[in-house]
Structure formats: C-alpha cells, structure tokens
Amino acid sequence: MGTEAEIREELAAERHKLTEAVESLREELGHTAERGKKLGALVGAVTGGALALRTVLRLRRRARD
C-alpha cells in the first residue's frame, strides 16, 4: 500500500482516464446520432420516392383502363 499522497495521485490519474473515456464515448455517440439522422433522411426520401412512383403507376394504369 502506498502513502496517502501516492494513493491520491493514483485516484486523480484514474479520474482523468475515466473523464477521457466518457468524452470519447460521447463523441462516438454524437457521430452515431449523426449517421442515424442521415440514414433516417435517406430512408424517408426513398420511401417518399417509392410512394410517388406507385401513385404515378396507378394513375397511368387507371388512365389506360
């Protein structure tokens, strides 16, 4: 077991490492959230395009009948 000063230094170093790890995780979560937003927008655009195409095809089919 070390002296009280050594223990305090070790605890301070561990706190610093934990703080850095939390910052890193927050940054990664931020990147993941941004990717999720972009993916959501892409899915929305594709879905909208598919619905528009389906509507156009139905209208053309009705016009032929």
CA-CA distances (angstroms) from residue 5 to 10, 18, 52?
9, 20, 70
SS3 label, residue 3? coil
pLDDT of residue 1: 60
Total count of residues recorded for the chain: 65
Residue 30 CB partners (closer than 8 Å, separation 6+): none
pTM of the model: 0.55
pLDDT of residue 27: 93
pLDDT of residue 2: 73
Mean pLDDT in each 10-residue stretch from start to end of the chain (65 residues)?
A: 86 94 92 91 93 92 85
